[in-house]
Structure 1
Amino acid sequence: MSIEFKKLSHTYNEKSPFPYVALQDINLEIKEGGFTAIIGETGSGKSTLVQHLNALLVPTSGEVIVGDYVLSASKKAKELKKLRKRVGLVFQFPEYQLFEETIEKDIAFGPKNFGMDEEQAKIKAREMLKLVGLDESYLERSPFDLSGGQKRRIAIAGILAFDPEVLVLDEPTAGLDPQGAKEMMNLFLKLQKDYNKTIIMVTHDMEHVLRYCEDVVILSKGKLVKTCDVISFFKDEALLKELKVTPPKVIQFKRALRDVGIIVDEDNYDLSKLALQIKEVISHE
């Protein structure tokens, strides 16, 4: 399902004495079936941008096109249920998504809302709970009694339960320990590779961008700075410096090697393969 932003702008409190321009004239296409990272400093407009994808926000001007659905400033949004079935958004703060008495009810809410009967929705809740790494003992617990990381897993399970074509993730690993974050990122990658989901991820984690993503969208002060593939982005040292982006550790390591005269394969970002290359370079000196 294609996704395109055409001259999208969004102003908060537009008719108040204190308007705030969050996005300005964004022209952007998101690759269908791809894994795209959206990055930028705090306040750059990342969350505002992705909330247009299922009409939580509507354009002040311009258009958002999701498949055959057009969201524009000039037309009132209609058939939102149809759009939100296709685009699932996991909020940055899971508390914004959790509201039911039990975890089972919370995860089952989406499928029931989109027409699944109650028994099927309960089965789906169990499946999704397992998928995000939690067992059935959580089903009858309150989602508000969980840790931050567990709440995030439940919020993700609730979105996955209604099987959207596009999965939008706003800082999806915040609050998770390193192992939990790795498990979640591998799950998102599996959804993209094996089930052809389009994954769009807002993140500050450059390690995840390098390891999992294919393309990068860079925002700054509400404007689109650049779109490119991940490798091209991390090779652009001037841009990284301008954006004050700290590159992933493997790239820092390769730069340190370069500074002492050890040149390795420019396109190799695998530490084990780098170790073999370093050994080979040193053995020939």
Structure 2
Amino acid sequence: MSIRFEKLSYTYSSGTPFAYAALKDVDLEIEEGKVTAIIGKTGSGKTTLVQHLNALLLPTAGKLEILGRTISAQQKPEHLKSLRKDVGLVFQFPEYQLFEETILKDIAFGPKNFGASEEEAVRRAREVIRVVGLDETMLERSPLDLSGGQKRRVAIAGILAMDPQVLVLDEPTAGLDPQGAQSMMQLFMNLNKQMKKTVLIVTHDMEHVLNYCDNVVVVDNGQILQKTSVHEFFRKTDLLKQLNILPPAIIRTREMLNQRGFHLSEEIMDIPSLAKEILREVKLK
């Protein structure tokens, strides 16, 4: 079952002089079980789009179908609590989601809010803290004493403790060093492959899009400009230039070599394939 937007629009401050149409007639289908990147310029509508997935925002027009539920502009939504359990949203700034005295209480808050016993909530907290790569000994620490990367992992643990089917991440590696960002992205891949979570990532990092994602959704001026596979997206260098997107290093290197007389296929998307083709062409010359 896919996630489907049908003619969905959203206007901030609707009916006032300050009305702003952030989304306009969005038609979009997102495959479950995949990792999908949501990309676009700042202000294009990416965050507004994903905040509809767990009904933090409700459509001004049109509808959204997700996990057997329909959220439309014409009807008052039902079962929002269960939807917010099944669709976990991690904000760009994890501090917004951390408020308890200890990490244990913070992670256990969600399960308890959805009816789990104290014992069950604590068990889940101890389980997911390991999943996100942190040690159980940290559970009694204050979440506010952690580094930025650790706070993000605790925020993700708090979402995972509710066992959502869909995980939505808004700029999850912002502010992290390269090693921390790589570790974070690998965590999301594990959640997708091993725990079968559908993962949506709002990001500006094209290296992460190429190396970790299955599909790409391009948002531009509140509309869906394109939805395609990652490899198909990065084959379209003209579109990347139009969007003012800096391609990943491997693609820039491939294009630079082609400008210097090589004839490297646009299908090349990784270093081993690039090295193999360069060696083949050098031998031919």
Given the two structures, how large is their TM-score scaled by the length of structure 2? Answer: 0.96
Distance 1:13 1:194 in 2: 41
Match of 1:217 in 2: 217
Distance 2:194 2:104 in 1: 26
User: Conserved in 2, the CA contact under 8 Å of 1:107 and 1:158?
Assistant: yes
RMSD: 1.3
Match of 1:180 in 2: 180
Q: How does 1:1-285 map to 2 (within 5 A)?
A: 1-285=1-285
3-state SS of 2:141 partner: coil
3-state SS of 1:227 partner: strand
User: Conserved in 2, the CA contact under 8 Å of 1:98 and 1:143?
Assistant: yes
Q: CA deviation at 1:53?
A: 0.5
What one-letter code is carried by the residue in structure 2 that aligns with 1:109? F
Q: CA deviation at 1:257?
A: 1.2
User: Conserved in 2, the CA contact under 8 Å of 1:250 and 1:269?
Assistant: yes
Q: CA deviation at 1:123?
A: 2.1
Question: Aligned residues: percent identity?
Answer: 59
What one-letter code is carried by the residue in structure 2 that aligns with 1:252? R
3-state SS of 1:25 partner: strand
User: Conserved in 2, the CA contact under 8 Å of 1:37 and 1:215?
Assistant: yes
Distance 2:131 2:193 in 1: 16
3-state SS of 1:183 partner: helix
Which one is further off, 214-223 or 138-147?
138-147
Distance 2:194 2:268 in 1: 25
Distance 1:221 1:2 in 2: 24
Q: CA deviation at 1:265?
A: 4.0
What one-letter code is carried by the residue in structure 1 that aligns with 2:132? V
Distance 2:207 2:241 in 1: 17
Distance 1:55 1:201 in 2: 17
3-state SS of 2:232 partner: helix
Q: CA deviation at 1:248?
A: 0.2
What one-letter code is carried by the residue in structure 2 that aligns with 1:249? A
Give the paired residue count: 285
3-state SS of 1:63 partner: strand
Distance 1:265 1:224 in 2: 28
1:56-93 deviation digits (Å, cap 9, x = unpaired): 00001110110221111111122111111111111111
Distance 2:15 2:146 in 1: 40
Distance 1:32 1:130 in 2: 25
User: Conserved in 2, the CA contact under 8 Å of 1:149 and 1:174?
Assistant: no
Distance 1:89 1:78 in 2: 19
User: Conserved in 1, the CA contact under 8 Å of 2:235 and 2:267?
Assistant: no
Q: Which runs of 5+ in 2 are unaligned?
A: none
User: Conserved in 2, the CA contact under 8 Å of 1:168 and 1:201?
Assistant: yes
1:66-124 deviation digits (Å, cap 9, x = unpaired): 02211111111221111111111111111221111111111111122222221222122
3-state SS of 2:262 partner: coil
Distance 1:177 1:129 in 2: 21
3-state SS of 1:195 partner: coil
Q: CA deviation at 1:137?
A: 2.7
3-state SS of 1:59 partner: coil
Q: CA deviation at 1:195?
A: 2.6
3-state SS of 2:277 partner: helix
User: Conserved in 2, the CA contact under 8 Å of 1:6 and 1:63?
Assistant: yes
